[in-house]
Chain A
Amino acid sequence: EAGVVQSPRYKIIEKKQPVAFWCNPISGHNTLYWYRQNLGQGPELLIRYENEEAVDDSQLPKDRFSAERLKGVDSTLKIQPAELGDSAVYLCASSRTGVTGELFFGEGSRLTVL
């Protein structure tokens, strides 16, 4: 079974530039999560999808962050414009609907904003 695939693995941009991250979840996993992990911290939820619907986006900074999950499979997280404080690892995870916390994570996209 293929795992969660994320790209790019690393991205370095200057502040005010846009950036996008892509995630392909495990086949059959209807729930998709985007987490942000700052250095030395645990992952913090940004947004959760059940199929195509964003059901929990209360922690997503909507002035500069956006996300979409077309056809309930792949997802894209976008930041525009990026700020210095956005430097972090962006983790995508997926799970079967209704599970109680067993998430499968990708390797993450490490963003550095200069």
Chain B
Amino acid sequence: QKEVEQDPGPLSVPEGAIVSLNCTYSNSAFQYFMWYRQYSRKGPELLMYTYSSGNKEDGRFTAQVDKSSKYISLFIRDSQPSDSATYLCAMSSPSGGSYIPTFGRGTSLIVHP
């Protein structure tokens, strides 16, 4: 079993829908939780970043962390075709004074007009 599990999709939704993307994890030492967005043939870019449990909102994006269930989510409101990309969750725990992210495999999102 991988440390971070993520459904690869694809997830296809109509424009304007609310999108829910999720990851589960097994390592209770993870403290920092991130969502990266990766467009086709591009490198990942950081979208959201949270520490420990709770919610964080940034525009149309909301990241949610439930450490008791080892479950994190990313919600996208009013989804747009430009949101079509692969969304990677990532988590990090302390290791030798640093925090190295462990990535999920990514969920492919398609938002159609």
Chain A residues near B97 (CB-CB < 8 A) = 98
Chain A residues near B32 (CB-CB < 8 A) = 100-101
Chain B residues near A104 (CB-CB < 8 A) = 45-46
The answer, yes or no, to whether B60 is at the interface (CB within 8 Å) is: no
Decide: B100 and A45 in contact? CB cutoff 8 A.
yes
Decide: B45 and A105 in contact? CB cutoff 8 A.
yes
Decide: A91 and B43 in contact? CB cutoff 8 A.
yes
The answer, yes or no, to whether A19 is at the interface (CB within 8 Å) is: no
The prevalent SS among residues of B at the interface is strand
Contact count A vs B, C-beta below 8 Å:
68
Distance in angstroms between the alpha carbons of A102 and B33 in the assembled complex: 10
Q: Which one of A35-43, A64-72, A78-86 is at the interface?
A: A35-43
Decide: A4 and B8 in contact? CB cutoff 8 A.
no
With contact pairs A101-B32, A102-B34 given, residues A42 and B106 touching in the complex (Cβ less than 8 Å):
yes
The answer, yes or no, to whether B75 is at the interface (CB within 8 Å) is: no
Q: Could you tell me which residues of chain A, from 80 to 110, have a CB within 8 Å of some CB in chain B?
A: 91, 93, 98-108, 110
Q: Could you tell me which residues of chain B, from 29 to 61, have a CB within 8 Å of some CB in chain A?
A: 31-32, 34, 41-46, 49, 51
